[in-house]
Amino acid sequence: MELQSIIDIKNKFFFMKKKKIAEMIEYNLWCDNVVKIGNDQNQYFFEIGRLTTNDLAEGVAILMKYGKLKFNEEIWKINLEPIDYYNISPDKALYWLTGGDYEWKEMHNYKKTWHESALDFQEEFGLKIINILKLSKNLNDIREMFDRHLSLPILYEFALEKEII
């Protein structure tokens, strides 16, 4: 069997498995054509376009990057229940807050890759993300604190200091 055939089979299985898992999730907090949000036993699930995550901080960061959402939409008023911090990886949110795929895959501004830079960003801002989640009562609180304390200018200034940009 050719290598390409094996890769195609693996990709097909991965997407089938992902779709089956996504169908099993009950999106009980928000569900529309593009964004779906659910919560089960303090575990949040986000499906935003083609992206899925069970990390609350990453989910909000992706929502912030998703240009079709208006800031006054009801989605931002979703109240938070107790958060399972075990499933929060600050580096995931930082990836999106620092530019996401546009910056890190296309390398428009950064001169180091995400893999070379992630630890620096996490060491500097990781605890801040956890603290923001602890202080937040709804998705809007997270969004506003991300905007205030982890805005792109703040993150770019840090990147300049670390010679990442």
Count structural domains, the chain. Answer: 1
Q: How many residues does the chain have?
A: 165
Q: How far is CA 33 from CA 30, 36, 73, in A?
A: 10, 8, 14
Model confidence at 84, pLDDT cuts 50, 70, 90, reads: confident
Give the integer Cα–Cα distance in Å for 103 and 132.
24
pTM for this model (two decimals): 0.82
Q: What share of the chain in percent tops pLDDT 90?
A: 67
Q: What angle do CA 120, 61, 92 make, to 5 degrees?
A: 40
Tokens 């390409």 belong to 4
Q: Are 59 and 53 in contact (CB under 8 A)?
A: yes
CA distance 74 to 4: 45
Task: Count Cβ atoms below 10 Å from residue 129 Cβ, excluding itself.
Answer: 28
- Are 133 and 59 spatial neighbours (Cβ–Cβ below 8 Å)? no
Q: What is the mean pLDDT of the chain?
A: 86
- Encoded tokens for 73: 């939409």
Query: Rounded to 5 degrees, what are φ and ψ at 46?
Result: -125, 135
Q: How far is 92 from 106, CA to CA, in rounded Å? A: 18
So what's the pLDDT on residue 42? 83
71 or 108: which carries more pLDDT confidence? 108
Q: Quote the domain boundaries for residue 18.
A: 3-161
Residue-wise pLDDT for 25-44, tens only, equals 677 899 988 899 999 888 89
Task: Please give the pLDDT value at position 15.
Answer: 46
> What average pLDDT does this structure show over 105-109?
91
